[in-house]
Structure 1
Amino acid sequence: MQVVRVRRNTMLEVDKILEKCGDCNRLQLLMLLLFCLINMLSALHYYSQTIISFVPKYWCADGLPAGGQPPSESSCHGNGSLTTCHSYDYELFMGYESFTSDMNWICADAWKLTLGQSMFFVGSVVGTPVLGFLADVVGRLPILVVANMIAMVGNLLTIWGTNLPLFCVFRLVSGFATDSNFVMMYILVMEYMRPTLRTVGLSLCIGFFYCLGSMAAPWVAVLMRSWQGFLLATSLPFLLVPFFYLIVPESIQWLVSKQKYDRAVLCLKRVAKINGRQVDESSFEEFIEECKFSQQHTKARPNLLDLFKTPRLRRNTLILFFKSMVITLCYDAVSRNVQGLGISPFLMFSLSATTILPACLLIIALQDRIGRKAMASISLLLSGIFISVTGGILFAAPATDKTTTLLVSLSVVGRFGVTVAYNSGAQYATELIPTCVRGQGVAAVHVAGYAFTFFSAFILYTRSIFSPLPELILGLISLLGACLCLLLPETLHRTLPTSLEDGENFGKNDRWFSFSFTEQRTQSATTLASGHHTKNHSNSTDSAVYF
């Protein structure tokens, strides 16, 4: 007879009291609507990097006669023996003047734009752990507001960043808020929703509204006709976020962890009031007592460095770090690689963004069927192939309408694959890292990914050296990421590691060719034969979907 040890924890107590106060009612609907708004704002903020940096067709205006025909392709040099150029003319996309054309950061000065864009990701590498730490000190809700205000201020200040030092500083400030301006709201909504509805509810909000915000971004720029107008139009809506205080309650789990029981009860009573529920005072008193009892038996928790003390856990952690770097770099670079394919970058950007929703729906449909390992490795493999083929066609084939259609199609499919890999990889890391260090571990994995994204702008800059080079580099990196995913153990239909010892032994007998959909699922059959039912532990971890 198998003895199952049940460990009481604060999360279970919070879910139980929320069921009485309402975990699928008016408040949850309001929070989901606000989460939809956060998704749109996050998309506009993240892709402001791309939109303000579009490079229109340009040519040297020195010595060019009035009304003269411009060259067929962008050119840095003037006519005749001129080797340097002092002024440029541009063929603006739909009348939109980007930061690049306004500042003339092209040709010999193109490195300035690349450096400034990279500072955005330097800001995110610094800001993510700092704001994450502050969220553990002052709460999730204040940091949600602060992060979104930083995003607004950083973008608004960029309007005055018309020299390289100021541009770099202001892009760093803007990047400081990246991730935290989205993740804090994700955590709050997840905690207040019924566990069985979290994955679908949150994923659909992300899929629809992050996709909508991404598709709308270039057309906001066209409507405003200048990069200053675009930043102004996409920054001012952030002023709505402080009003979230009127609806969104603070994290119950955080309040309990800080032993702020009175505030936790006030939040719960507010939830019950909004949802029209009557809850006895004795239920709140029982909740507090159970939380105090759980915290009395809480031992000192291990830290991030403990992940590197044993060989298998160290190997898996390092692979997760490198996989996050590869996937995050590919995702950012592919999503911004919308020029040089033969069509308007505005149209290409919107077409590429349409992959976000189907990628989200595909993860919901398949990830719990074929497994995390197969989902991440296959999607990266296909993405790498399609992106590499795009580079090959750019190199070998002459520019025609048919070639352009093929290039656009391959690029969109490549974006779809890397989006699936990016989002499935987020949940994969959450499940592989042991529970005792999961918060620190997942945060570190995300930070490593953002740090590597520093090189995204430089990879795209290689197009000025050799046209298909960005696609070839990204394709190779995607294929490398697919190979790395094969070295990780599967987590689907398995009890997830809770301790460091569990993490060291997890998937010990797995091979690189072992996939969940090829395994014989004898566990459920054995369990049913013995008259017991086994819970699918992989579903106990909510999907963490990021775009």
Structure 2
Amino acid sequence: MEDVRDDEPLLDDAEQNLCSHAEENPLTETPVFLEADLGRLFEDILERLGGFGRYQKCIIFLVVLPMFFASAFMQSSWLFVSAMPTDHWCHIPLHNLTFAEERQLLPLEKNDDDTVKHSTCKMYDLNYTDILEKEGSIEGVIRYINTSHTHLNTTHCRHGWTFDRHNSDTSLITEFLLVCGAAFLPTLAYILTSTGGVLGIPLGGYFSDHYGRKRSFFVFLLLYVLLGVGSCFAPNFIAFVVIACVQNIFTNPCYILPYMVGIEILTPGIRSTFSVLLTVAFTLGGVAFTAVAYFIRHWRYLIFASTAPFFLFLGYWFVMPESPRWLLSIGQFSETEKFLRKVAKANGKIYDEECEAKYSELQELYAEKKRLSSGMNPKKTSWLDLLKYPNLRKKTLVLTYLSCAVNVIYTGLNYYAPALGENPYLSFLLVGLVELPGSLFTQLIADRLGRRLTMIVCFVAGTASCIATVAIPSQGSSTWPILLTLFLVAKLFVTSAYTVQELMVYELFPTVLRGEGVALTNIVGYFVSNFGPVIVYLRFNGAAFPMIVFGCLSAIGIFATMILPETLNCPLPETIPEAENFGKLTNVRDVFRIGRRSPNVPATQDLSKRWLPVLTLVSIVLILRPTSDVELPCPAIRSLEK
């Protein structure tokens, strides 16, 4: 048991103030401790049953992490399915032509960098067969064109196109001839499928909050698999886009809902580690998909390969649990107790009388909450409740901005990535590997400095690295390594900020609205992320212009993060009143308060502190080792314990 000095107050002024204001709930006139104890009691029971025990490890490592690994296949497939061929040009209707000979029979065009290259969308308005008969050889045709090309008329490609298939055998572009006048169609298809993804976010949030995380996930997963297989047989481009748009509706729920289940079966001490593990699994999945795409060069087979693993995940129905917090929120007490007894048995713990007493107290608190709410004409919750109450509204707006900022910067940096060679497989591999150090950086400090201070550190470093590009000349080989280094630093820290921001979204929204709250921030962030490529495209003020914009967005994120309360070692809020009261008295001084352990998390159970991930290019090893018994306190919890 930790010693407490007599001259050290348990609560500082801010915490005492919070405690003094915690006597009643302005939303329901219910004592705040009743609301706060809902989540705290449940997490106390989980701690007594092993915390991050054998059951939780099995669910995380054998169910959730493999799902996230495969989810990267969903997100990565479009890049290779719609891959632009290395080169293309008008097909010349002559037999036995080599690529080099065919290109010599085409008009020449000047590029933006003043280099001259064959035309990709025009050919000479000639009867090449007649000229071949007159000249007698291909060399004669080439000489004829070279001597008279200034007097020849050009026309569009009459006989289709020839593609240099160096990087892929067949993609959407090559099969459906989406070049020249139809070159905008892949971009249009991307916008339409992205719109489908946006529609899927609120759909997943609504169904998960009203019908359960588990049932919603498997319904969406089944539809995703069926539509994915169907898209492999699309007879034309329009049919493919229609199927892909509908399929993409179910992509984001298949990503979000396993994350939500994992968060809701874990205790506070392990949630940061869990979030980092998911990010690492997703990144490694993207890297693995690069190898799959390298060996499968036909887009139809590649889509099937990116969909096939999810057939296996349908069997997880018999293993994956329903979220116990969701069961509690709808009053399914018997099902929740079955879950707790299953956890106790798997973890080698005893569901003893103290656990039963705590669970009985938990049921009584829910019954009391229901009784108090019954006289207030209760109605079903919706995402609008997130904007109804001042503190919850403030946190929702800040989280939404942070989601927009990290999505725009992350997407924009991907488009702004330095040229890493002409091989798209190598480029995709390297860009993916850059994200791993960012994820591991999160693991190293998020459970030591706290979520809020970690995000501030990331935004400060990201701002500095983005703005520093202004002082570096964009031309010249000597400065290119510096620009590359600054880009990698910015990418590393925005990846870390992305991971922590996503974790805080799950930790700040109440269980009854967690699905819809996550959906709200993701919808806005996902939509706004489309401006990232636009910012990169608008480089009219110089090559550093996009980095300046990203730096400004990151700088605003520093001050926005200071508004949020710290969530390290705090139980998840269960109800709207609890979420409204949590962190109501947060001030700027709290941002820099680190180093004291939360009393409700025993040092021996704080497993995330003992997990130190070590990155190599070959593997990622997670090892256990003892660390300092120092944790960031949760003021709301300490106030209630006082």
TM range (shorter): 0.7 to 0.9
Determine helix, strand or coil for the equivalent of 1:371: helix
2:54 is matched by which residue type in structure 1? R
Partner of residue 56 from structure 2, selected from 28, 33, 52: 28
Tell me: CA distance 1:483–1:123, structure 2 relative to 1, closer, same or farther (3 Å). Answer: same
Where does residue 294 of structure 1 map in the other structure? 365
Find the counterpart in structure 2 of residue 85 from structure 1: 157
CA distance in structure 1 between the aligned counterparts of 2:123 and 2:480, rounded to whole angstroms: 30
Does the CA contact (< 8 Å) of 1:373 and 1:489 recur in 2? yes
1:126-165 equivalences under 5 Å are 126-161=199-234, 163-165=236-238
The alpha-carbon distance between structure 1 residues 446 and 415, as it changes in their structure 2 partners (threshold 3 A), is same
- SS of the aligned residue for 1:60 comes to strand
Q: 1:58 pairs with 87, 99, 109, which one?
A: 87
Change in 2 beyond 3 A, CA 1:312/1:500: closer
Residue 127 of structure 1 and its aligned partner are, at CA, apart by 1.0
The match for 2:297 is 225
How many angstroms does 1:197 deviate by?
A: 2.2
1:209 shift after superposition = 1.8
Secondary structure of the equivalent of 2:421? coil
**Following the alignment from structure 2 to structure 1, what is the Cα–Cα distance between the partners of residues 594 and 318?**
51
Alignment correspondent of 2:519: 443
Identify the residue that residue 49 of structure 1 maps to in structure 2. Answer: 78
1:358 deviation in Å?
0.9
Instruction: State the identity %.
Output: 22
Distance apart, 1:360 and its partner CA? 1.0
Q: Which residue of 2 aligns with 1:98?
A: 171
Shift of 1:238: 0.3
CA positional deviation for 1:371: 0.9
- 1:151-191 Cα offsets, whole Å, 9 max, x none, are 33343233234544323322222321233212222222233
Distance 1:273 1:473 in 2: 58
Gaps of 5+ in 2: 1-8, 10-15, 23-32, 105-115, 125-152, 571-576, 600-629, 638-642
The answer to whether the aligner puts 1:265 opposite 2:321 as a matched pair is no
1:232 deviation in Å? Answer: 0.9
Letter in 2 for 1:269: R
Instruction: Check whether the contact 2:402–2:560 (CA below 8 A) recurs between aligned residues.
Output: no
Higher mean Cα deviation, 173-182 or 334-343?
334-343
Moved more, 140-149 or 156-165: 156-165
Please report how far the alpha carbon of residue 229 of structure 1 lies from its aligned counterpart in structure 2 after TM superposition.
1.4
Name the residue aligned to 1:537.
Answer: 634
- Tell me which amino acid in the other structure corresponds to 1:377: F
1:105 alignment partner, SS class: coil
**Per the alignment, do residues 136 and 276 of structure 1 end up closer, same or farther by CA in structure 2, a change over 3 Å counting?**
same
Partner residue of 1:543?
none
Which of 283, 292, 315 matches 1:243? 315
2:42–2:359 Cα contact (<8 Å) kept: no
- Asked if 1:353 is matched to 2:432, the reply is yes
- Paired residue total: 514
Corresponding residue number in structure 1 for 2:409? 330
How do 1:143-542 residues align onto structure 2 when only pairs under 5 Å count? 143-161=216-234, 163-200=236-273, 202-280=274-352, 286-298=357-369, 299=373, 304-305=383-384, 317-318=396-397, 320-335=399-414, 342-367=421-446, 368-369=448-449, 371-382=453-464, 384-385=466-467, 393=474, 396=475, 412-427=488-503, 440-454=516-530, 474-490=546-562, 491=564, 500=580, 506-507=586-587, 510=588, 516=591, 521=593, 536-537=633-634
Q: Could you tell me how far 1:61 is from its partner in structure 2?
A: 2.8
Aligned match of 1:67 in 98, 104, 116?
A: 98
- What is the alpha-carbon distance in structure 1 between the residues aligned to residue 217 and residue 581 of structure 2? 35
The answer to whether the 8 A contact 1:386-1:414 is kept is no
Partner of 1:38: 67
**Amino acid corresponding to residue 239 of structure 1 in structure 2:** F
Q: 1:134 to 1:95 in 2, by over 3 A?
A: closer
> 1:494 and 1:454 mapped to 2: Cα distance?
30
Q: Match for 1:261: what amino acid?
A: F
Q: CA deviation at 1:222?
A: 1.6
Q: Is the 8 A contact 2:90 2:121 kept in 1?
A: no
Structural RMSD (CA): 4.2
Q: 2:494 and 2:583 mapped to 1: Cα distance?
A: 27
- Render the CA deviation track for 1:326-347: whole Å, top value 9, x for unaligned: 4213323544667965331110
1:323–1:481 Cα contact (<8 Å) kept? no
Question: In 1, are the aligned partners of 2:287 and 2:429 still within 8 Å (CA)?
Answer: yes
Question: What is the deviation of 1:306?
Answer: 5.8
TM-score by length of 2: 0.68
**Counterparts of 2:596 and 2:349 in 1: how far apart (Å)?**
39
Matches of 1:235 and 1:388 in 2, distance apart? 43
Aligned residue in 2 for 1:530: none
Partner of 2:120: 76
**What is residue 544 of structure 1 aligned with on the other side?**
none
Measured at CA, do residues 421 and 113 of structure 1 come closer, stay the same or move farther in structure 2, by a change above 3 Å?
same
Range 480-489 or range 114-123, more displaced: 480-489
Residue 469 and residue 213 in structure 1: after superposition, are their counterparts in 2 closer, same or farther (change >3 A)? farther
Compared with structure 1, are the counterparts of its residues 505 and 146 closer, same or farther at alpha carbon in structure 2 (3 Å cutoff)? same
Distance 1:205 1:172 in 2: 30
What's the CA shift for 1:256? 1.5
TM-score between the two structures when normalised by the length of structure 1:
0.79
Q: What SS does structure 2 have at the residue aligned with 1:122? A: helix
Given that residues 204 and 515 in structure 2 are in contact (C-alpha distance below 8 angstroms), is that contact kept between their aligned partners in structure 1?
Answer: no
Q: Secondary structure at the match of 1:89?
A: strand
Distance between the aligned counterparts of 1:58 and 1:440, measured in 2? 45
Q: Is 1:114 the equivalent of 2:187? A: yes
Superposed displacement of residue 40, structure 1: 1.0
> Which residue identity is paired with 1:365?
L
Q: Tell me which structure has the larger Cα radius of gyration.
A: 2
Question: 1:536 is aligned with what amino acid?
Answer: P
